Amino acid sequence: MDTFAEPYTRAGDDISLDAVRDHVRALEARHKANGVQLSGRIIHVCHYLPVTCTITSTSTRDGVLSPPPTPPRILADVPPSPSDVLPPLTLPAQPERWKLTPRYGHSAMTSGIRSLSVTHEQVILGWTGDILSPAAPPDGNSSPDGDVNPSTGERVPSVRDRIPSARISQEDKDALDVELAQYTDKNGLEPETSKPITYLPLWMEDNVAHGHYDGYCKQTLWPLFHYLLWQDVATEHASADANYEYYEQANQAFATRLTSVLKPGDLVWVHDYHLLLVPRMLRVAMHSGAISGVGGENGGDVTIGLFVHTPFPSSEVFRCLPRRKEILDGMLGANLICFQTYSYTRHFTSTCVRVCGYETTSKGAMATSTSASRGASVVSRSATGTGSGIGTGQTRGTSLTRGGKGTKGGAGVEKYVGIDVQGHVAAVTHCPVGVDAERVARDTLRAGIQPKLEALRALYTDKKIIVGRDKLDVVKGVLQKLRAFEKLLHDYPEWQRKVVLIQVTSPALTDSPKLERQVSELVAHINGEYGSLDFIPVHHYHQTLRKDEFYALLSAADLGVITPLRDGMNTTSMEFVIAQERTKRSPLVLSEFMGISQHMADALQVNPWDLGDVAAAMNRGLVMSKEEKASRHASLHSVVTTHTSHTWAAVLAKMLLSQINGQNTARQTPYIPRDRLKELYDNAGKRLFLFDYDGTLTPIVKMPSMALPSPDALTALAKITSDPNNIVYIVSGRDQAFLEEHLGHFSRLGMSAEHGGFIRSPDSATWMNFTASLDMGWMEEVAEIFRYYTERTTGSHIERKKSSITWHYRSSDPEWGLFQCRQCQDLLENNVVSKRPIEVLVGKKNLEVRPIAVNKGEIVKRILYQNPGVEFIFCAGDDKTDEDMFRALLLFPPSSTSKATMEPPLSVTLVDNTKEHGDVELAVSPEAVFTTAVGHSSKRTLASWHVTTPEEVVEHMLFLVGETPQGDELKGYL
């Protein structure tokens, strides 16, 4: 994380929309050629449907029955005679039950999603929002406080027009499904060749929906992500946990609804901070096989992306959140996590490392040959190869670059920084959102704009116009902007009576009477200080503008000032640039704390807290020459019209497809088959069990001394060791004392300590030392180096064993500890390893040095050599040292069905060299060897099978002996 100057857009993403779509098609063609299943669908999971649903006819509304229709009128005044033939009666058409209109807000995201219909079938899953009754005109009998639709000027029903969801019948819900199936957005202007868009409504109880959104989202997450703590925006008794249960319930509702429509090969994009738990919930459902045809042991897969539209705060702010781990784990269920800017990805990665203790790694992804040749560094050198190597070594950390050129088939491999969570690696990257530039440009040509533009110019003749338009939200910095304008009038008195500020504040989703009062008081103060009877310097309008008014205001401006304290993507700044293309090409003052600030480098960027800086920027913009205005505007206009919402959506599709690597898919480790495991266990005469300890029988913990076996683990060991046909060994890196203290009471349990340095056979109390005949003089030399780094790394310590020495930095600052680990590793490899028979291993937050001849693989070979008659082998481990065990159990060539023979291993010949040792024939068959890695299926390993967590290892042990877990079973992460 050592660079703050990363590009806002990446190489390969600043090309034309057609070129990005060509990349998408090329990736899909390559995946299909590699046998990867793709459905051709992209499913977008959004908080709201992009449609407002108003119910117009229902028998359940407000519990009042609809009146009967008026009987048809008879055309003649005279009653007809019996001989007259009456004309056929025409009954009035039944009115539609639902009125569907576009939901305004989030227009950039919605237009981007719809643009993907050119290449993919689309499904949009979202909450219906509050169901509204028809809005009557404010005539005293209805609510006059509804919003105004900026596109049409029509009144939108207010909260008072809301119908409780419990009163919506199933018949009405079914009718809405029918209406949505026929719905098309008239403003979308999708091309005729577009593929279908399906809208899936999600129904939630009102208390859950509003506890989720108005509660946890708006009172906890929104402030936190904008560098405010919840007590800054809520009541004095605010609790950060008050509505979390509703947040979790709502996310589960989304995940459950999503599982009902998933198909193998779907691409799923989850949008924004409202749904951060959904990726993990969906991944758990896939893993459990709860989705038909997806996940499980034999199902296909779907690829999950998460795009966070808001800023993401630094780790020191995020760690204040009580539910921080649940939120991070939920996000890390995705294959790809995408933010607006590189700095947000840096904050997120640092938070995962510092708050949760997860490790970063590199993650390769497939790229087209075109984009592969346009590499640009986007990830810092702090990313390591942790978790990506196999065996005793570790891939050294390097600068991760996108677009490294491939060597096969012309395909490139893009590199992402990844977060490793129990073997599942979630890639992290960034991609900025744009606006629908073509639509905005069309809107600026609306017929109603020109008259309003001329009226504004006439009203403020000979005055410079500064325009600001923000939501009335504390993070939008309206108060700071007004104070900066006051400072402009004070520090640059020549502008008094010559400049006006038109500040429009649209109502926020959550009202803030206090902020509204502060703004009104400050506006009155400025007008009282610098205004007069015939001149008002600040014009404040607290209302929602219609489109004609909005674009007329942007077009009339001599300066745009948009200075939020924190913001993700701000569409007003981009719309300002497009609106100015046909008028003055006026400059723009932007806050440097916006997600798009790097994107729009030619704007006048300021620190909104520095009032003098903002005032000076305002003055500079007002006196700027026409030539400089034109130059800056041309650059901004090029950026805004090139990286649009359509390009953003296409790039997201490209990045998500690149996460599907056909070659890696073939190497994914399958989940261990329980029934087959049980069958072979029951049929075997002699059986061999080999277990690592930390991370296999017990979870990894911060303090190694706290890694104690659970009651279920002890029960499983007791049951398995009690069977005389079972040979059971713990093969651990722990020392003898620890293993004897916690597991020594199992008399029939064999133990190997210090990664194979010592072994104690079942029914024996004597330890055999494999290092007794080795030169261990190197240990003091290594200890001196470790002491040097311990003194300089707070929280680190040295663990000295009889056969190895380890430097731990798990309690240190993660980034500083990792840096020191690399420095120490370099020193050891360059100055000690070349002279001594030792090797250096990089483990999980540690650096270990041991003799070359001592490892877990040699111990496994010794045990198997001495017990050739075993017919069933179950070996489980979780880290790189356990790969030595898996390698030792690669006993058969591929597709072999013959018996294997085994040469005497070094662990036998070196210890007992007084007699000849011959080859032995093994009784075990290939299908009865269950080498099992603990972690995600994508974890690179030599094991044949995988489980996800240590709890699942214990569960399978209990299953073999007919027992079930008694404690709280911790479900697999992914």
Domains of the chain, earliest start first:
38-47+106-127+198-364+415-433+646-665 (3.40.50.2000), 437-643 (3.40.50.2000), 674-774+853-961 (3.40.50.1000), 777-850 (3.30.70.1020)
Of 15-19, 543-547, 621-625, 910-914, give the lowest mean pLDDT range.
Answer: 910-914
Residue 300, pLDDT > 70, answer no
- Edge-to-edge strands, sheet with 559-562: 538-541, 499-506, 464-471, 559-562, 588-591, 604-606
- Taking the CA atoms of residue 486, residue 492, residue 495 and residue 497 in that order, the dihedral angle to the nearest 10 degrees is 60
Residue 714: how many CB atoms within 10 A of its CB? Answer: 17
Residue 281: its pLDDT value, please?
93
Residue 174, pLDDT > 50, answer yes
What stretches of 207-295 adopt beta strand conformation (E)?
267-271
Residue 811: its pLDDT value, please?
86
Helix (H) or strand (E) holding 283: helix 278-287
Helix (H) or strand (E) holding 430: strand 424-430
Residue 298: its pLDDT value, please?
41
- Per-residue DSSP letter, 664: H
Please state, for a pLDDT cut of 90, what percent of the chain lies above it.
48
715-771: per-residue pLDDT in tens? 999 999 999 999 999 999 888 899 999 999 998 999 999 888 889 999 888 888 887
Residue 453: its pLDDT value, please?
92
Of 27, 236, 238, 206, which Cα lies nearest the Cα of 120?
Answer: 27
Residue 360: its pLDDT value, please?
84
Cα gap 449→442, rounded to integer Å: 12
Q: Is pLDDT larger for residue 893 or for residue 564?
A: 564
Radius of gyration for the chain, computed over Cα atoms and rounded to the nearest angstrom: 34
Q: Is pLDDT larger for residue 967 or for residue 71?
A: 967
446-469: per-residue pLDDT in tens? 999 999 999 999 999 889 999 999
Token readout for 968 is 């709280």
Cα gap 154→54, rounded to integer Å: 14
Place of tokens 């057609």: 18
Residue 423: its pLDDT value, please?
73
Residue 579: how many CB atoms within 10 A of its CB? Answer: 27
Write the single-letter amino acid at 708. Answer: L
Residue 125, pLDDT > 90, answer yes
Of 55-59, 539-543, 665-669, 742-746, give the lowest mean pLDDT range.
Answer: 665-669
pLDDT band at 231 (very low <50, low <70, confident <90, very high): low
- Per-residue DSSP letter, 810: T
Residue 526 phi, psi (nearest 5): -65, -45
- Beta strand 920-921 with 901-902: parallel, antiparallel or unpaired? antiparallel
Of 218-227, 346-355, 377-386, 421-430, give the lowest mean pLDDT range.
Answer: 377-386
pLDDT band at 233 (very low <50, low <70, confident <90, very high): low
Non-local (6+) Cβ contacts of 418 within 8 A are 360, 361, 362, 363, 383, 425, 426, 427, 428
Residue 839 phi, psi (nearest 5): -135, 155
Of 385, 496, 287, 303, which Cα lies nearest the Cα of 818?
Answer: 385
Cα angle, residue 334 at apex, residues 328 and 340 outer, rounded to 5°: 75
Please state, for a pLDDT cut of 70, what percent of the chain lies above it.
80
Average pLDDT over residues 100-105: 83
Token readout for 669 is 């480790």
Please, is 331 exposed, middle or buried when counting C-beta atoms within 10 Å of its C-beta (0-12, 13-18, 19+)? buried
Phi-psi region of 382 (alpha: psi -120 to 50; beta: other; left: phi over 0): alpha
Q: Is pLDDT larger for residue 848 or for residue 381?
A: 848
Contact (CB, 8 A) for 368 and 15: no
Residue 8, pLDDT > 60, answer no
Of 337, 336, 39, which Cα lies nearest the Cα of 198?
Answer: 39
Of 458, 428, 233, which Cα lies nearest the Cα of 348?
Answer: 428
Residue 669: its pLDDT value, please?
84
Contact (CB, 8 A) for 959 and 678: yes
- Give the residues across from 464 on adjacent strands: 499
Of 616, 638, 346, 382, which Cα lies nearest the Cα of 488?
Answer: 616
Residue 509: its pLDDT value, please?
59
Residue 771: its pLDDT value, please?
78
Write the single-letter amino acid at 741. Answer: E
Residue 886: its pLDDT value, please?
94
Token readout for 87 is 């004309």
Residue 357: its pLDDT value, please?
84
- Helices 449-459 and 547-556 sit at what angle, rounded to 10 degrees? 50
Residue 867: its pLDDT value, please?
93
Cα gap 832→83, rounded to integer Å: 119
pLDDT band at 368 (very low <50, low <70, confident <90, very high): low
- Taking the CA atoms of residue 113, residue 116, residue 120 and residue 126 in that order, the dihedral angle to the nearest 10 degrees is 10
Residue 95: its pLDDT value, please?
57
Please, is 467 exposed, middle or buried when counting C-beta atoms within 10 Å of its C-beta (0-12, 13-18, 19+)? buried
Average pLDDT over residues 149-173: 70
Token readout for 844 is 């999980």
Residue 967: its pLDDT value, please?
65
Average pLDDT over residues 36-43: 90
Of 146-150, 339-343, 645-649, 857-861, give the lowest mean pLDDT range.
Answer: 146-150
Residue 638, pLDDT > 80, answer yes
306: three-class secondary structure by DSSP: strand
926-940: per-residue pLDDT in tens? 999 999 999 877 778
Write the single-letter amino acid at 716. Answer: A
Average pLDDT over residues 805-824: 90
List for the chain the helix, strand, coil content (%; round to 5): 35, 20, 45
Place of tokens 């809107």: 443
Residue 469: its pLDDT value, please?
93
Q: Which of 219-233, 326-340, 383-397 has the highest mean pLDDT?
A: 326-340
pLDDT band at 376 (very low <50, low <70, confident <90, very high): very low
Residue 847: its pLDDT value, please?
92
Residue 80, pLDDT > 50, answer no
Write the single-letter amino acid at 404. Answer: G
Residue 935: its pLDDT value, please?
84
* Average pLDDT value for the chain: 82
Residue 729: its pLDDT value, please?
96
Cα gap 525→538, rounded to integer Å: 10
Of 309-313, 703-707, 833-837, give the lowest mean pLDDT range.
Answer: 703-707
515-548: per-residue pLDDT in tens? 889 999 999 999 999 999 889 999 999 988 888 9
Place of tokens 């900025």: 432
550-566: per-residue pLDDT in tens? 999 999 999 999 999 98
- Helices 814-831 and 342-356 sit at what angle, rounded to 10 degrees? 80
- Beta strand 376-377 with 401-402: parallel, antiparallel or unpaired? antiparallel
Average pLDDT over residues 263-278: 94
Please, is 915 exposed, middle or buried when counting C-beta atoms within 10 Å of its C-beta (0-12, 13-18, 19+)? exposed
Say if pTM beats, i.e. exceeds, 0.85: no
Cα angle, residue 398 at apex, residues 396 and 400 outer, rounded to 5°: 135
Alpha helix stretches (DSSP H) within 643-774: 645-658, 662-666, 674-683, 711-721, 736-743
Q: Is pLDDT larger for residue 570 or for residue 806?
A: 806
Residue 188: its pLDDT value, please?
54
- Beta strand 98-102 with 162-163: parallel, antiparallel or unpaired? unpaired
pLDDT band at 914 (very low <50, low <70, confident <90, very high): low
